[in-house]
A = this chain, B = another copy of it.
Amino acid sequence: MKFDMTYRVSYGDTDQMGVVYYANYLELFERGRTEMLRSAGLTYRDFEAAGYLLPVHEAHCRYHKSARYDDLLTIRSSVREMRGVRFTIASEILRDGELLAEGYVTLACVDAVHRKLVKLPEMLTSRCRQFMTPEES
């Protein structure tokens, strides 16, 4: 199952090419994965309060078409992999069903105090399993 949310492009998201600035897609990815977790009953705020942090290990984005000011975008999120200390979220940005951009972000779980890598806790994995999708070729 993939998780969808909508997002309205603001003026501040655009650049002088008249499109969403390329770095801002990564912020859209973050909004998507946060809401995906929330829909499964886990806020990232609670996750941090439980003593974990999820720094980003790797990010990738491929840009197909430009998102524009005032577009109502769909941010589609799913879990590509959970293994050991890491998990990978795949994200797609769509407008009226058309794919504008896609990518993934790999996060590593660390404990908030020592900032050491720790195994993904059950409170995360149990809730994310429903969003697992095999990587598409």
Please report A residues at the B interface, Cβ cutoff 8 Å. Answer: 8, 10-12, 14-19, 21-27, 30-31, 34-35, 43-45, 53, 55-63, 66, 69-70, 105
> B59 contacts A60, CB within 8 Å?
yes
Number of this chain's copies in the assembly equals: 4
Q: Which residues of B contact A53 (CB under 8 A)?
A: 17
* Secondary structure type dominating chain A contacts: mixed
> B70 contacts A44, CB within 8 Å?
yes
> A26 contacts B22, CB within 8 Å?
yes
A-B contact pairs, 12 of them (CB 8 A): A8-B31, A10-B27, A15-B16, A16-B69, A19-B55, A22-B105, A23-B25, A23-B26, A23-B30, A44-B69, A56-B63, A58-B62
